[in-house]
Structure 1
Amino acid sequence: MPKFRYVAKDIGGKTVTGEIMAGGQTDVVNKLQMQNMIPMSITEISMQKSGGGFQAINDKITMLTTKVSLADKVFFTNQMVTFLNAGVTLTKSIKNIADSQKNVVVKAVLNQLYDDINAGSDFSQALAKHPKIFDQMYVNIVKAGEASGNLDKALKSLAGYMEKSAALQGAIKSAMMYPKFVLIFTCVIVFVILWKIIPVFEGLFSSMGGELPGPTQLLVDGSGVIQEHFFLLLASFAGIFYGIKYAFKFKKVRDFWDNFIINAPIFGELVRQIIVSRVSSVLALLLGSGTSMLESIEISSKVSNNSVYEAALKKAAVDVSTGVELSVSFKKTNRFDDVFIQLLETGEETGKIDDLMKKIAEYYDAEVAMKVKGFSSLMEPLLIVFMGAVVGSIVVAIYLPIFTMGETLQ
């Protein structure tokens, strides 16, 4: 369990510093709140970096290269809830958080929020000026909280949603870590064999005379290409990587990929369920905050992060605007399964669509968690077999001329 250093204010307003063991920054916030302390700054000790004479230059570089992570937004939102619940004013809360920030990007954004609100803007209006950090969903939830006078509750619901999203992202990244490691390790082994080992055997093959078996000749040719054109190959791979990255800027390429990934064998269903879970969670959050149905569907289409589902949800929104029932509109898209539609119909019958959307999100969260675990269990033995097959094939190809020569001598 990591250790964190914190700066907080106690119930009397006195600044308190200390160190605490916790599962994460959110856990630190909860533990400090239980001690009637308001966190001002929380830093994981192992992640601290010493300052220096070039700090100003480093800050400028960071401003250009650092993105605000989901964890940063979760922490900011949780801190806002803590301050507002403690009776601290909105502007003072933002200023306190900004002053304690180590991340120069977050600090700059929060200072801008503080200035905009002091100049007369609403909190939601100030947030809307930073769409790359605070998306339309975040802004709408805050706007609804301002209108109802329950900004702290709105922010708390946002923090809960983002924490759940972060947990899901973490589970998926953890599941993909092992396959990535095996694939990279396999590529490294193949490269080392072709770069260092095959040239050693090449002299032996030449002394044998005769024609080499096809698999062995392929290895020798591959090794020769790497030896003679290493930098050209490196440049080619880099060009292919950046070429693919650039291609995704075109809508047709993104549409093709988005359609492929939701229909792909093995993991296509998992991707669809992740999207449905995300859409359901956002709809529940927006509808629960008082956002209109049409606007909620429109915003949820953007958080789907898939052009196929985005188009489907926009089509559903058009149908709803003409008076078609929500469940019928979603069913017509052919992108939502029977479980989703049946639960949605139940929500329409009871008049509690936002509550049913929460249940739908919970159902798909559980399905995703189960499938991610199953995917990991399935991939581990398959990848080991794959790595063994690749390395084993190369070893056999290396020794094939020796075996062939032995048979000839007999």
Structure 2
Amino acid sequence: MPRYRYTARKPNGKRISAVIEAASESDAIANVSASGAVLLSLEITQARAKTSSGPLFQQGVKMDALVIFCRQAYSLIKAGVPLMRAIKGLAQSSNDKPLKAALDSVAAELSNGRPMSSAMRDFPQVFSDLFVSLVQLGENTGRLDDAMLQLSEYYEQEMETRRRIKSALRYPSFVLAVIVAAMAFLNVKVIPQFAGMFAKFGSDLPLPTKILMTTSNFFVDFWWLLVISSVCLLAGWHAWKNTDEGRVKWDSFKLRIPLIGSLVNRALMSRFSRTFALMLRAGVPLNTALHMAGEALDNRFLALEVEKMKTAIESGMNLSSVTADSKLFTPLVHQMIQVGEETGQIDNLLLEASDFYDREVDYDLKTLSARMEPILLMIVAGMVLILALGIFLPMWNMLDLIRGG
């Protein structure tokens, strides 16, 4: 019989954690509810067998579709529409195929008496652990509409942050792509024409010209080797990045990229603070909220740092001491957490910390293109300088030979 670990709140307000055996998840929920306690979280302690009925490569749901679903679900539930009817209607109106398939299955499970959060847990590629946990808490407290509203606001903020980052990086990425294309075109089409002209004069070529000619010949004669090497390097990098060690190192490197690394770090800290506050406000235990907030970061390096914080809290340290030792947060945010711990308003002050990070990210995004322009200009100037030295120096030498001849 499966074993389930649960966290619940007794009628006297005391929070308990224990393990229970039940034939199914719904039976475990019923047994805990029968004891008079309010269930806060429930997870199976044995690994769940993976089904092979789905496709080999499962597609995730688009975030904007998830936002629309949460908004519509909030409106329907708040208006008093029965849950199963609401989910069926949302499944029919959804244009996102993964979300539509998941909602159809959830509606079928609801008709069989299964809780919605339990049915959603079968689709981790659509509904994250954070999503399922908030839905479960909404079911247990009778405030499912508030849970859907909180989720919609959370994903709307995430979508807006991603949109702003992509918008800020679009111009630098375009310029770099044009530079790479121009270099390839010059090496394949332009420089060989000058090489033929220089060869007719038979004069000794300067070093920059020799370097340009060698590079151009390599591009023309061994382009296939460049293509194969690029594909192999990309495949090898992708395979390494998917390993545990590779993902930690790559996620750590992303936070140290000049200009962009600090921006990404603050955006992730905003997400962590917002998720952590959301879970605490919903009544999730502190260590569980830390774990789920770390998983929501989508950065393995930071997630491991959050796990260290979780371990320290479980060993008896308070949250403010842990955040001070972790060095993930700015002193201002650490002070907010410290004050929140003293006043019992950690969730509110964490949301203030998230807003603080969002304002910093917004300012950095507005000035990112301006700060990157000097670097791009230096790259373009370096390319022009190399071409000028490689092409015009031998032409000047040839003019000198013609005048002296």
In which range does the TM-score fall when normalised by the shorter chain? 0.7 to 0.9
Q: Which residue of 2 aligns with 1:139?
A: 132
CA distance in 2 between partners of 1:395 and 1:91 (Å): 71
| Structure 1 segment 27-66 matched on structure 2, within 5 A | 66=59
Q: Which amino acid aligns with 1:309?
A: L
Out of 60, 65, 70, which is 2:63 matched to?
Answer: 70
**Contact 1:74-1:162 within 8 A present in 2 as well:** yes
User: What is the CA distance between 1:65 and its match in structure 2?
Assistant: 7.1
CA distance in 1 between partners of 2:148 and 2:286 (Å): 20
CA distance in 2 between partners of 1:197 and 1:371 (Å): 39
User: What is the CA distance between 1:183 and its match in structure 2?
Assistant: 0.6
Deviates more, 1:63-72 or 1:334-343: 63-72
Instruction: Report whether the alignment pairs 1:300 with 2:293.
Output: yes
**Contact 1:313-1:330 within 8 A present in 2 as well:** no
CA distance in 2 between partners of 1:319 and 1:63 (Å): 39
| Structure 1 segment 212-231 matched on structure 2, within 5 A | 212-231=205-224
**Contact 2:203-2:398 within 8 A present in 1 as well:** no
Per the alignment, in what secondary structure is the counterpart of residue 263 of structure 1? coil
The 1:63/1:92 distance shift into structure 2, 3 A limit, reads farther
Instruction: Report whether the alignment pairs 1:101 with 2:91.
Output: no
Q: Which residue of 1 aligns with 2:106?
A: 113
Q: Which residue of 1 aligns with 2:165?
A: 172
User: What is the CA distance between 1:244 and its match in structure 2?
Assistant: 0.8
Q: Which amino acid aligns with 1:328?
A: S
**Contact 2:256-2:262 within 8 A present in 1 as well:** yes
User: What is the CA distance between 1:369 and its match in structure 2?
Assistant: 1.0
Q: Which residue of 2 aligns with 1:273?
A: 266
Q: Which residue of 2 aligns with 1:256?
A: 249
Instruction: Report whether the alignment pairs 1:150 with 2:143.
Output: yes
User: What is the CA distance between 1:381 and its match in structure 2?
Assistant: 3.9
CA distance in 2 between partners of 1:327 and 1:155 (Å): 30
User: What is the CA distance between 1:350 and its match in structure 2?
Assistant: 0.9
Instruction: Report whether the alignment pairs 1:339 with 2:332.
Output: yes
**Contact 1:141-1:286 within 8 A present in 2 as well:** yes
User: What is the CA distance between 1:336 and its match in structure 2?
Assistant: 2.0
User: What is the CA distance between 1:322 and its match in structure 2?
Assistant: 2.8
Q: Which amino acid aligns with 1:262?
A: L
Q: Which amino acid aligns with 1:82?
A: S
Q: Which amino acid aligns with 1:204?
A: M
Q: Which residue of 2 aligns with 1:198?
A: 191
Give TM-score, length-normalised by structure 1: 0.81
Q: Which residue of 1 aligns with 2:351?
A: 358
Deviates more, 1:187-196 or 1:366-375: 366-375
**Contact 2:102-2:120 within 8 A present in 1 as well:** no
Provide Cα deviations, 1:241-270, integer angstroms capped at 9, x if missing partner: 111111101222222222233234433322
Instruction: Report whether the alignment pairs 1:242 with 2:228.
Output: no
CA distance in 1 between partners of 2:125 and 2:58 (Å): 14
Give TM-score, length-normalised by structure 2: 0.82
**Contact 2:102-2:126 within 8 A present in 1 as well:** no
CA distance in 2 between partners of 1:263 and 1:64 (Å): 32
Q: Which amino acid aligns with 2:289?
A: S
Q: Which residue of 2 aligns with 1:371?
A: 364
Q: Which residue of 2 aligns with 1:291?
A: 284
**Contact 1:63-1:104 within 8 A present in 2 as well:** no
Q: Which residue of 2 aligns with 1:122?
A: 115
CA distance in 2 between partners of 1:342 and 1:152 (Å): 33
Instruction: Report whether the alignment pairs 1:319 with 2:330.
Output: no
CA distance in 2 between partners of 1:105 and 1:352 (Å): 38
**Contact 1:255-1:307 within 8 A present in 2 as well:** yes
Q: Which structure 2 residue ranges, 5 or more long, are not aligned? A: 1-54
CA distance in 2 between partners of 1:244 and 1:250 (Å): 10
Q: Which residue of 2 aligns with 1:210?
A: 203
CA distance in 1 between partners of 2:68 and 2:400 (Å): 70
Aligned length: 349
Q: Which amino acid aligns with 1:71?
A: D
The 1:66/1:308 distance shift into structure 2, 3 A limit, reads closer
**Contact 1:213-1:401 within 8 A present in 2 as well:** yes
The 1:239/1:381 distance shift into structure 2, 3 A limit, reads same
Per the alignment, in what secondary structure is the counterpart of residue 129 of structure 1? coil
User: What is the CA distance between 1:271 and its match in structure 2?
Assistant: 2.5
Out of 384, 387, 397, which is 1:391 matched to?
Answer: 384
User: What is the CA distance between 1:365 and its match in structure 2?
Assistant: 0.7
Q: Which residue of 2 aligns with 1:182?
A: 175
CA distance in 2 between partners of 1:261 and 1:102 (Å): 34
CA distance in 1 between partners of 2:322 and 2:58 (Å): 42
**Contact 1:297-1:317 within 8 A present in 2 as well:** yes
